[in-house]
A and B are shown apart, each in its own frame.
Chain A
Amino acid sequence: MAFVAAVAKRSGNVRGIKRPSTPYLLLIPGIAWLFMFFIYPLINLASTSTQTPAASGEVGAYVQTFRFANYIDAFSGARDQFLRSIVYALIATLLALAISYPLAYAIAFKSGKWKNLLLVLVVAPFFTSFLLRTVAWKQILGNEGPVVAVLKFLHILGPQSGLTASAFAVVTGMTYNFLPFMTLPLYASLERIDPRTLEASSDLYANGITTFRKVTFPLSLPGVVAGTLLTFIPAAGDYINATLLGNPRTKMIGNVIEARFFDIVDYPTAAALSFMLMAAILIMVMVYVRRAGTEELV
Chain B
Amino acid sequence: MPTNNPLSPETRAIIRAQMTRRGVLAGAGGLGVAGLLAACGTKSASTGAKGASVTDISATDKIARWANWTLYLDYDSKSKTYPTLEAFKKSSGINVTYAEDVDDNNTFYGKVAGQLKLGKDIGYDIVTLTDWMAGRWIRLGYTQTLDAAAIPNKKNILTVLENVSFDPGRNNSLTWQTGFAGFGWNKSLLPKGVHTLDDLFAPANKGRIEVLSEMRDTMGIIMQYQGVDISKTFTEAQFMNAIDFLQKKISDGFIRQVKGNSYKEDLISGDAIAVIGWSGDLFQLATENKGKFEFAIPESGGTLWSDNLMIPSTSPHKANAEAVINNYYDPKVAAQVAAYVNYVCPVQGAQAEMEKIDPTLANSPYIFPDAAALAKVKVFASLTPAEETKYQTAFQKATGN
**Complex: how many Å from CA A263 to CA B30?**
17
Contact of A131 among B15, B25, B250, B258 (CB under 8 A): B15
**Complex: how many Å from CA A259 to CA B113?**
16
Give, as a whole number of angstroms, the nearest-CB distance from B252 to chain A: 10
- Please provide the chain B residues from 200 to 244 with a CB less than 8 Å away from any CB of chain A in the complex: 207
Contact of B397 among A77, A132, A240 (CB under 8 A): A77
Tell whether B289 is near chain A: CB-to-CB under 8 Å. no
Tell whether B19 is near chain A: CB-to-CB under 8 Å. yes
Which B residues are in CB contact (< 8 Å) with A253?
A: 28
In chain A, what residue has the closest Cβ to B206?
A160
**Complex: how many Å from CA A191 to CA B383?**
63
Per the CB 8 Å criterion, the residue count for chain A at the interface is 71
Once the chains bind, are A51 and B30 in contact (CB under 8 Å)?
Answer: no
On whether A274 and B34 interact (CB within 8 A), knowing A130-B22, A142-B271, A263-B392, the answer reads yes
**Complex: how many Å from CA A269 to CA B133?**
22
Tell whether A201 is near chain B: CB-to-CB under 8 Å. no
Tell whether A184 is near chain B: CB-to-CB under 8 Å. no
Tell whether A54 is near chain B: CB-to-CB under 8 Å. yes
Give, as a whole number of angstroms, the nearest-CB distance from A259 to chain B: 4
Tell whether B4 is near chain A: CB-to-CB under 8 Å. no
Once the chains bind, are A59 and B401 in contact (CB under 8 Å)?
Answer: no
Per-position binary interface string of chain A over residues 54-67, scored 1 when its CB falls under 8 Å from any chain B CB and 0 otherwise: 10111111111000
Per-position binary interface string of chain B over residues 320-336, scored 1 when its CB falls under 8 Å from any chain A CB and 0 otherwise: 00000000000000000
In chain B, what residue has the closest Cβ to A270?
B33
Tell whether A47 is near chain B: CB-to-CB under 8 Å. yes
Once the chains bind, are A42 and B27 in contact (CB under 8 Å)?
Answer: no
Tell whether B365 is near chain A: CB-to-CB under 8 Å. no
Which A residues are in CB contact (< 8 Å) with B397?
A: 77
Contact of B21 among A64, A143, A164, A258 (CB under 8 A): A258
- Please provide the chain A residues from 250 to 285 with a CB less than 8 Å away from any CB of chain B in the complex: 250-251, 253-267, 270-271, 274-275, 277-278
Tell whether A45 is near chain B: CB-to-CB under 8 Å. yes
**Complex: how many Å from CA A56 to CA B19?**
34
Tell whether B18 is near chain A: CB-to-CB under 8 Å. yes
On whether A265 and B34 interact (CB within 8 A), knowing A135-B15, A257-B25, A259-B401, the answer reads no
Which A residues are in CB contact (< 8 Å) with B363?
A: none
Tell whether B191 is near chain A: CB-to-CB under 8 Å. no
Contact of B30 among A135, A239, A264, A277 (CB under 8 A): A277
Once the chains bind, are B389 and A144 in contact (CB under 8 Å)?
Answer: no
Once the chains bind, are A59 and B388 in contact (CB under 8 Å)?
Answer: yes
Quick check: which of B37-45, B122-130, B175-183 contacts chain A, the rest being far away? B37-45
Which B residues are in CB contact (< 8 Å) with A261?
A: 25, 33, 36, 110
In chain B, what residue has the closest Cβ to A63?
B45
Which A residues are in CB contact (< 8 Å) with B113?
A: 60
Once the chains bind, are A40 and B28 in contact (CB under 8 Å)?
Answer: no
Tell whether A223 is near chain B: CB-to-CB under 8 Å. no
Contact of B22 among A131, A132, A265 (CB under 8 A): A131
On whether A45 and B33 interact (CB within 8 A), knowing A162-B271, A258-B21, the answer reads yes
Quick check: which of A17-25, A97-105, A241-249 contacts chain B, the rest being far away? A241-249
- Please provide the chain B residues from 102 to 150 with a CB less than 8 Å away from any CB of chain A in the complex: 104, 106-107, 109-110, 113, 136, 139-140
**Complex: how many Å from CA A56 to CA B45?**
9
In chain A, what residue has the closest Cβ to B46?
A61
In chain B, what residue has the closest Cβ to A41?
B34
**Complex: how many Å from CA A146 to CA B388?**
44
Once the chains bind, are B385 and A59 in contact (CB under 8 Å)?
Answer: yes
On whether A56 and B389 interact (CB within 8 A), knowing A41-B37, A144-B269, A258-B28, the answer reads no
Tell whether B396 is near chain A: CB-to-CB under 8 Å. yes
**Complex: how many Å from CA A239 to CA B21?**
10
Once the chains bind, are A247 and B257 in contact (CB under 8 Å)?
Answer: yes
Contact of A247 among B18, B40, B256, B392 (CB under 8 A): B256
Which B residues are in CB contact (< 8 Å) with A277?
A: 28-30
Once the chains bind, are B15 and A51 in contact (CB under 8 Å)?
Answer: no
On whether A271 and B385 interact (CB within 8 A), knowing A47-B42, A131-B19, A258-B21, the answer reads no
Tell whether A3 is near chain B: CB-to-CB under 8 Å. no
- Please provide the chain A residues from 106 to 133 with a CB less than 8 Å away from any CB of chain B in the complex: 129-132
In chain A, what residue has the closest Cβ to B136?
A59
**Complex: how many Å from CA A267 to CA B11?**
29
Give, as a whole number of angstroms, the nearest-CB distance from A223 to chain B: 23
Tell whether A216 is near chain B: CB-to-CB under 8 Å. no
Contact of A60 among B42, B47, B107 (CB under 8 A): B47
- Please provide the chain A residues from 48 to 100 with a CB less than 8 Å away from any CB of chain B in the complex: 48, 51, 53-54, 56-64, 77, 81
Once the chains bind, are A257 and B136 in contact (CB under 8 Å)?
Answer: no
Tell whether B35 is near chain A: CB-to-CB under 8 Å. yes
On whether A129 and B15 interact (CB within 8 A), knowing A254-B27, A264-B392, the answer reads yes
Once the chains bind, are B44 and A45 in contact (CB under 8 Å)?
Answer: no
On whether A58 and B47 interact (CB within 8 A), knowing A237-B27, A271-B37, A274-B34, the answer reads yes
Which B residues are in CB contact (< 8 Å) with A64?
A: 42, 45
Tell whether A205 is near chain B: CB-to-CB under 8 Å. no
Which A residues are in CB contact (< 8 Å) with B45?
A: 54, 61-64
11 example contacts (A-B, Cβ-Cβ < 8 A) are as follows: A41-B31, A57-B385, A58-B139, A61-B44, A64-B42, A233-B29, A247-B253, A249-B250, A264-B392, A265-B389, A275-B30
Residues in chain A within 8 A of chain B (CB atoms): 37-38, 40-42, 44-45, 47-48, 51, 53-54, 56-64, 77, 81, 129-132, 135, 139, 142-144, 160, 162, 164-165, 233-234, 237-240, 243-244, 246-251, 253-267, 270-271, 274-275, 277-278
Please list the 8 inter-chain residue pairs (A to B) with the smallest Cβ-Cβ separation, ordered nearest first. Answer: A41-B34, A248-B400, A274-B30, A259-B401, A254-B28, A251-B400, A45-B34, A237-B28
**What 9 new A-B contacts, CB under 8 Å, besides A61-B44, A248-B255, A251-B401?**
A162-B207, A164-B271, A239-B28, A248-B257, A250-B400, A257-B28, A265-B110, A271-B34, A277-B30
